[in-house]
Amino acid sequence: MVSPFRSSMQQQAGKSVRAFSAAFLVALLTASTALAQSPVITTPVNPPDEVIEDLPAANDEATSVEPNVPPPRSSAARSASGQATQSRRLLNSLNDLDRPLTPEEITAYGQSLRDQFPLDPSLIRDYRRRLNESQRAAAAPPSGIRPEAISQSLRVSLDTRGPTPQLDTSPGTVSIISFFDQTGAPWPIASFVIGREDAFQVNAMQEGSNQLAVAPLVVHGYSNLAVSLVNEDQPLVIDLETNEARSHYRLDLSVAGRGPNAIVPAVQTREAKQNASDELMMAFVQGSDIPKTAQRLSTDDSDVAAWHFNGNLYVRTNQTLQAPSWSATLSGPGGIKAYRLRPAPLVLITRNGQMTKVRISK
């Protein structure tokens, strides 16, 4: 049976050995760091005696050192002190060991610390900050600002005398071109050809789709795109150009003509008057760029929007207007239609084959 006195003495001895191991490791790390950072000492060359004789006598007052003023610490000393502090912190875990370390283990442990933790936390944070700034600069556009995102709907004609639509796109973005017929139905794409395959990448969204995805491959570039629509002999040509300030995220093109998926209303009405150059009607179809002087009216149907402008009533809806009679209409993507008619407090629309009254008020 071991006496309490002997057990206490053994515990004290174990703590002393662990403390000695920790102190030895701290001293070893500090000495190795100081040795690695110590400057190379060279032996000065003594000047000739005649040169020494010509030197003036040293002034005792000038060479005297002020008392109680400690000399400045060198960068090597400061670094060694920091390494020693870091070593002491890392050695706190030695107190949890149940046995003392051998000199070989202490040497291996110190080497492992230098290998695993070559940088202190402040240097690691500085490195990660610089890396983050470098990655942010590499990911930013060359101009330093993101391009303005644009969604636009245009009415185009297959006539060669019509204007050529233009798609603006920026590096790092993708633009979607969608094709619709005059009834608002999707018009599938038969084929397409790009002028410069090294400047722009063009892909169909899916087989039989009415959409093309365009992405620039260069920072500055220009080309054009020829698109052939199903059951249409005339191709549609679109200009492509890179632009750092703005980029078309969506460009919806309503083509003057009826595609294979043209929507035929359940109740036949007279043929709509459509004018591809009527920018005012296109503004009401899009629901944007509407004149500021146009007065927005209230309706009791969420599918119908109405405005009063220049003595006329403009109605925007995804349904078919039956009455009153209208003087002009224009269809856009998604089956949206705009009608121009005389002011009226009530209109009739067809929804799912049923007649519905819509009241309009200021």
Q: What are phi and psi of 19, to 5 degrees?
A: -65, -40
114 and 153 in a single domain? The answer is no
Question: Quick check: is 225 in a domain?
Answer: yes
Q: Residue 210: how many CA atoms within 13 Å on its side-chain side? A: 21
Q: Which residues of the chain have pLDDT under 70?
A: 1-99, 160-161, 264-277, 334
Percent residues over pLDDT 70 in the chain = 68
Question: Quick check: is 287 in a domain?
Answer: yes
pLDDT per residue as tens digits for the range 74-89: 655 655 565 666 556 5
For residue 14, how many other CB atoms are within 10 A of its CB?
Answer: 14
Q: Return the pLDDT at 104.
A: 83
152 and 251 in a single domain? The answer is yes
153 and 111 in a single domain? The answer is no
What whole-number distance in Å separates Cα of residue 305 and Cα of residue 334?
A: 16
Give CA angle at 274 (350, 225), nearest 5°: 115
The two beta strands, 304-309 and 295-299, are antiparallel
User: What's the pTM?
Assistant: 0.51
The domain total for the chain is 3
Q: Return the pLDDT at 319.
A: 86
Contact 30, 83 (CB under 8 A): yes
**Nearby residues of 98 by Cβ (< 8 Å), 6 or more positions away:** none
**CATH code of the domain containing 238:** 2.60.40.1080
Question: Quick check: is 296 in a domain?
Answer: yes
291 and 333 in a single domain? The answer is yes
251 and 349 in a single domain? The answer is no
**Nearby residues of 60 by Cβ (< 8 Å), 6 or more positions away:** none
Contact 151, 298 (CB under 8 A): no
For residue 85, give its domain range: 18-31+79-120
Question: Quick check: is 137 in a domain?
Answer: no
DSSP E strands: which ranges in the chain? 148-156, 166-169, 175-180, 189-194, 200-204, 211-216, 222-229, 236-242, 246-255, 295-299, 304-309, 312-317, 320-323, 326-331, 337-341, 346-351, 354-361
300 and 226 in a single domain? The answer is no
Question: Quick check: is 262 in a domain?
Answer: no
115 and 155 in a single domain? The answer is no
Question: Quick check: is 212 in a domain?
Answer: yes
Domain boundary among 203, 220, 255: 255
Q: Return the pLDDT at 100.
A: 74
249 and 177 in a single domain? The answer is yes
Question: Quick check: is 163 in a domain?
Answer: yes
Alpha helices in the chain (DSSP H): 4-37, 49-54, 60-63, 75-90, 103-116, 121-139, 279-286
Question: Quick check: is 13 in a domain?
Answer: no
pLDDT per residue as tens digits for the range 291-341: 888 999 999 888 899 999 989 999 998 888 888 888 888 877 767 888 999
Domain boundary among 120, 138, 173: 120
